[in-house]
Amino acid sequence: MKKILILFAHPAFQKSRINKILIHGVDDMEGITLHDLYQAYPEMDIDIEAEQKLVDAHDIIIFHHPFYWYSTPAILKEWQDLVLNHGWAYGHEGIKLKGKFIFQVLTAGGEKMAYCQQGYNKFTIRQLLRPFEQMANLCQMNYLPPFVVHGTHSITKQEVLEHKTTYLELLAGLRDETINLDDLANREYFNDYFTNK
Amino acid sequence: MEQGGFFFQALVYLTAAVVAVPVAKKLGLGSVLGYLLAGIIIGPFLFGFIGEEGQDVMHFAEFGVVMMLFLVGLELQPSMIWKLRKSIFGLGGFQTGITAAIIMGIAIIMGFAWQTGLAIGLTFALSSTAIVIQSLNEKGLMKTEAGQNAFSVLLFQDIAVIPILAILPYLAIKGLVTETTDVAHHSSTWVDGWPIWGTTLLTLGVISTIIFAGKYLISQAFRFIAKTDLRELFTIAALLLVISTAALMTMIGLSPALGTFVAGVVLAQSEYRHELETDIEPFKGLLLGLFFIAVGASIDFHLIAESPKLIFGLVAILIAVKFVVLFVIGYFFKMGLDKNMIFSFSLAQGGEFAFVLLSFSTSNSIISSDVANPLIAVVAISMALTPLLMLFNEKLIQPRFGTKESVKEADEMQEDKKVIIAGFGRYGSTIGRFLQANGVYATYLDIDPDNVDLLRKFDLKVFYGDASRNDLLKAAGAAEADLLIVAVDDPNKTKEIVATVKKNYPKLKLVVRSQSFLSSYSLIEQGVDRIQLDFLDSALRMGTDALCYLGHRRHESFRASKTYRKNVEKFIPELSEVWQDKSLLISEAKKRMQFLEKSMLQEKEDFHKEKDMGWDASDIIKEFGEGKI
């Protein structure tokens, strides 16, 4: 059984609609740790030692957050900057993350069609996530395709609940190692693994 | 039994109460039944410890009912009354009217004149405010829908007594023989012989005076008294307020209970509300207990023994008629079956007003005394049966319904305040305003009458009172509160408050302001949930400012202040374990402070010793690219 750490970042969780549903109750599942960063560090004063211990204790790391300016909310960047140290996460002696899995769970306002060369966002989600892919490479981690919920401004509750079901399926699959990683590697989104089997 | 003197009487009453009430409570019968039983036992017809003077005691003890209505009024904001207007006039009006009509009909069928019938009908339509409210309160049903509706009906009945007293004299039957000449009760008011419009104007005038005085004058007076810092003087003033209102109302021939109720409602918004509540409460309890004992003692067993069938038949008719009428009205007012049962069972009895009205009717030649006496027994028995009927409903009928009425469901009367702030000076009021800005409306308590007055001018709902007293905390709602914030500036007072809370409300979360390290240690020992050193934050902000003025980078200084604060907050619980030993405390505290200063300095100079390492490139340069940049 693999252990999963969800690093959740939402600076206005109270007002969130989608993420409230997605995140609700996931930590009731065995093997899943939900770490709400803005709740843990209201002053952004990240406890580096504690965070590194937490990462150490898990096999799969998920950045779960709304997609802000094609990236993460500020605290996750702060987390990367401070926790992923040279000599710990990367460098000659930095092998603590080696072999762990990492990917993102995103909610984005734009539809998928907006994220292509013809769309107003010009680039695909995968292109925009390159810095994270490279972060994984440098830390010798296995990068998995992102799980994306698009069109959050117009999505219905029913659709969100469907995404939630997929999310839970995904978490259970990763935890129980029932997901075919070779198949997954060829997918653009993690979602596709479930929708076009 | 002869009079026996004051001490002997007091001995009898108190002993009876002390023995009977706990037993009744233990048996699950409620205190009202306990008092009634005590009254029956010591009354003239069983053991005869007290004689006919029980009647006088009852008149005196009726004042307990007056106090109870004052307290009920204190719990009710005027806006609540407005909300309840439909049930007061709808439920109350229909109940009183229909019940009176049906009983009048029965009386006429039994061969009485219509005047007598009407008087009996109106008399029997009224229920017992004392028994109903006390019982509902004890069962925690007062704030439920059933409780509110029952209260509305009682309120209407209290108002209805005024016109009933006004019309009864016109029902006099010529030639009716009356034995009694007891007219002491209501005939000698100050307004006898006034025309109706005169008394109406006067009534309105007096009620406006009560409202005006309650709103503008009483608070001033209480502030003046509170400043003397004499507890008992405040109690005296509170009693004076209730008694003078009652006296005024009696003088103009109105129900004193109604007057004090109005006074209570007016003062419900006053800053002295909780203080008044705690001061009057014990007197109310005492007098009401006495009242119930007197009711028990007044049940004339000789009379019952003479014609048991008649008396119990009438009791059955009275309860059945009232119950059916209440139940039908409740049904039309769309009460759930379970709530309707509570409502109908609780109000199906005669009330204490019946004693007054029956003697008034006798003296006005409407009812002859040989009719009135059994009726008095009927009312008393029906009152004594009420707690039993409610128990019957609770134990045998309610369990049949799947849905028990939960207090949460209908909490119109409940205030939505779950946080109490004790101490509302500069510190506490900042917290309070901050909470308000976030939609949390706390109950505020402060002990300085001038401060309370000032803050009231800023529209803050501050109550006067000492938060280290359990009764005051209780009145402020400590039993239901989720959080108590102690923000007073006197460390000894803080300790007292914490001790009171820990003793009486062990589950209440405590967030406490602490003025010094030393008091923090003892507060931790007392088991508070969170401590804030009141100087720490502002001192560190000032320190940060100082660093900035000296040319340090602002973000760095800010982060340093957070590190410093975090460490100090970590020391406090650690040091609380050794604080009793002064020299050990000093050495331990010194050790920690020195370590903190040293490590922070080191971190400043040598980045990768501690945190911030990710922002430091010296390591990376060493490994990947020294010399190339």
* pLDDT tens digit sequence for B356-380: 788 778 877 888 878 888 888 888 8
Examine the pLDDT at B261 and tell me if it is beyond 90. no
Examine the pLDDT at B30 and tell me if it is beyond 90. no
- Of A7-11, B236-240, B295-299, minimum mean pLDDT range: B295-299
Mean pLDDT of B14-27: 83
Mean pLDDT, chain B, whole residue set? 82
At residue B25, the pLDDT reads 77
Interface membership of B620 toward A (CB under 8 Å): yes
Right CATH for B13-400 from 3.20.20.10, 1.20.1530.20, 3.30.300.30, 1.10.3720.10: 1.20.1530.20
* pLDDT tens digit sequence for B422-448: 998 889 989 998 998 888 888 888 888
* pLDDT tens digit sequence for B279-338: 888 888 888 888 888 888 877 788 888 888 888 999 999 999 999 999 999 998 888 888
Strands B509-514 and B483-486: parallel
Categorize the per-residue pLDDT at A96 as very low, low, confident or very high, splitting at 50, 70 and 90: very high
CB B299 within 8 A of CB B45: yes
- Of A57-66, A74-83, B21-30, B48-57, minimum mean pLDDT range: B48-57
Residue numbers in B near A85 (CB within 8 A): 613-614
Query: Domain limits at A21?
Result: 4-195
Residue numbers in B near A42 (CB within 8 A): none
Categorize the per-residue pLDDT at A122 as very low, low, confident or very high, splitting at 50, 70 and 90: very high
Q: Which of B500, B488, B92, B63 is nearest to B288 (CA)?
A: B63
At residue B238, the pLDDT reads 87
The answer to whether the CB atoms of A86 and B613 lie below 8 A apart is yes
Whether pTM > 0.90 for this model: the answer is no
Under DSSP, is residue B420 helix (H, G, I), strand (E, B) or coil?
strand
The answer to whether the CB atoms of A48 and B620 lie below 8 A apart is no
> For residues A143 and A100, what is the distance between their CA atoms, to the nearest angstrom?
9
Strand-pairing partners, residue A101, are A60, A142
Categorize the per-residue pLDDT at B629 as very low, low, confident or very high, splitting at 50, 70 and 90: very low
At residue A79, the pLDDT reads 96
Length of chain A: 197
Examine the pLDDT at B476 and tell me if it is beyond 60. yes
* pLDDT tens digit sequence for B200-209: 788 788 888 8
The answer to whether the CB atoms of B566 and A82 lie below 8 A apart is no
Six-digit token pair at B479?
Answer: 């039993």
At residue B174, the pLDDT reads 65
Of A43, A85, A87, the CB nearest to B562: A43
Categorize the per-residue pLDDT at B45 as very low, low, confident or very high, splitting at 50, 70 and 90: confident
Number of domains chain A is built from: 1
At residue A137, the pLDDT reads 95
Where is pLDDT greater, at A141 or B220? A141
Chain A: give the shortest CA distance to residue B570, in Å. 14
CB A100 within 8 A of CB A88: no
Q: How many CB atoms lie within 10 A of CB B250?
A: 18
CB A33 within 8 A of CB A58: yes
* pLDDT tens digit sequence for B46-57: 777 776 666 677
* pLDDT tens digit sequence for B111-169: 888 888 999 999 999 998 888 888 888 877 887 888 889 989 988 888 787 778 777 87
Examine the pLDDT at A52 and tell me if it is beyond 60. yes
At residue B405, the pLDDT reads 39
Question: Percentages helix, strand, coil for chain B, rounded to the nearest 5?
Answer: 70, 5, 25
Rg (CA), chain A: 16
Most confident of A162-176, B322-336, B564-578: A162-176
Chain A: give the shortest CA distance to residue B602, in Å. 17
- Residue type for position B50: I
At residue A163, the pLDDT reads 94
Residue numbers in B near A43 (CB within 8 A): 562
The answer to whether the CB atoms of B614 and A91 lie below 8 A apart is no
Interface membership of B559 toward A (CB under 8 Å): yes
CATH class of residue range B419-534: alpha beta
3-class secondary structure for B122-189?
Answer: HHHHCCCHHHHHHHHHHCCCCCCHHHHHHHHHHHHHHHHHHHHHHHHHHHCCCCCCCCCCCCCCCCCC
How big is the A-B interface in CB pairs under 8 Å?
30
Q: Where are the domains of chain B?
A: 13-400, 419-534
At residue B625, the pLDDT reads 61
Look-up of token digits 């109903």: B132
Residue numbers in A near B623 (CB within 8 A): 86, 91-92
Categorize the per-residue pLDDT at B263 as very low, low, confident or very high, splitting at 50, 70 and 90: confident
Strands A147-149 and B419-422: unpaired
Of A43, A48, A87, the CB nearest to B619: A87
Residue numbers in B near A82 (CB within 8 A): 611-615
Q: Enumerate long-range contacts of B609-618, CB under 8 Å, 24 or more apart.
A: B611/A48, B611/A82, B612/A82, B613/A48, B613/A82, B613/A85, B613/A86, B614/A48, B614/A80, B614/A81, B614/A82, B614/A83, B614/A84, B614/A85, B614/A86, B615/A81, B615/A82
At residue B190, the pLDDT reads 63
Mean pLDDT of A61-68: 96
Strand-pairing partners, residue B25, are none
> Percentage of residues in chain B with pLDDT exceeding 70?
89
Task: Give the ipTM.
Answer: 0.77
At residue B64, the pLDDT reads 81
Residue numbers in B near A45 (CB within 8 A): 559, 562-563, 566
Interface membership of B562 toward A (CB under 8 Å): yes
Categorize the per-residue pLDDT at B465 as very low, low, confident or very high, splitting at 50, 70 and 90: confident
Categorize the per-residue pLDDT at A170 as very low, low, confident or very high, splitting at 50, 70 and 90: very high
Examine the pLDDT at B600 and tell me if it is beyond 60. yes
DSSP assignment, residue B622?
I
Categorize the per-residue pLDDT at B179 as very low, low, confident or very high, splitting at 50, 70 and 90: very low
At residue B404, the pLDDT reads 42
Under DSSP, is residue B15 helix (H, G, I), strand (E, B) or coil?
helix
The answer to whether the CB atoms of A85 and B623 lie below 8 A apart is no
Rg (CA), chain B: 32
At residue A155, the pLDDT reads 92
Sequence-distant (≥ 6) Cβ neighbours of residue B68 within 8 angstroms:
B129, B130, B133, B134, B284, B288
Mean pLDDT of B502-507: 90
Q: What is the CATH number of the domain that holds A26?
A: 3.40.50.360
